Amino acid sequence: MNNQYVYFSAKDLCTRSCMQIKMFRERPELKPKPNTNQWKGCDFQHEVAKTLDNVVGEEMGGCVQDDNLLIYFANDIICTDKIIEVKSIDENREVADWYLKSCFLQCAIYKTLTHYCKNKLKTASFHVQNGNKYVECVVGDYTPFILYFGKDKYIINVMNYEPILKFVLRKAKHSLEWDSAKQFDSKYKGKEYETLKNYFHVLKV
């Protein structure tokens, strides 16, 4: 690998296929702009944060580096006693099972990235640029990671971080070339949760 850094969004690695990541890297103008549902999700996140007494900050994360690859992530809400990922759900529509599982997997990946940052978190630059306060903190390795899925709550416990990180890094590396991106998708697209589910546990609370 050369010395030029390649930047990745953890959210892209969680929610997009390898081919999509490659395409939007080549043609960033094609990347979808935030839609109404995403703005509603941000508003819901802020409303959740207002109900909590011990919030350290919102949009706090870090960067995991492997050679010249840099993966940036931001957790939705950090409290003194928990990390929270928030998903806004339309209560009038049935939620697809694949979507719920993808949210579980995203939480497991973000918990893993937090672990490999030695649990040192700081406010994401985009959040500071939007006028919010910059803060830093260190969370405990056993700090509960909770998914707020509409009105439901789930605790995500990661039992084995290493294979999750290796999978994410492999996906990032495969997305650098069209042929390897296609190869990765043919094997794992739609199967990422099944591939990694044995390395984390989900408990509804």
Residues paired with residue 102 on neighbouring β-strands, in sequence order: none
What is the DSSP track for 60-108?
EEEEEEETTEEEEEEEEEEESS-EEEEE---TTSPPPHHHHHHHHHHHH
Q: Give the span between the Cα atoms of 197 and 179, in whole angstroms.
A: 27
How do strand 136-138 and strand 120-123 relate by DSSP bridges? antiparallel
pTM here is 0.93
CA 189 to chain CA centroid, Å, is 17
Each residue's pLDDT, cut to its tens digit, for the chain (205 residues) gives 446 899 999 999 999 999 999 999 999 888 887 666 666 778 888 889 999 989 999 999 999 999 999 999 999 999 999 999 999 888 778 888 999 999 999 999 999 999 999 999 999 999 999 999 999 999 998 999 999 998 999 999 999 999 999 999 999 999 999 999 999 999 999 999 999 999 999 999 9
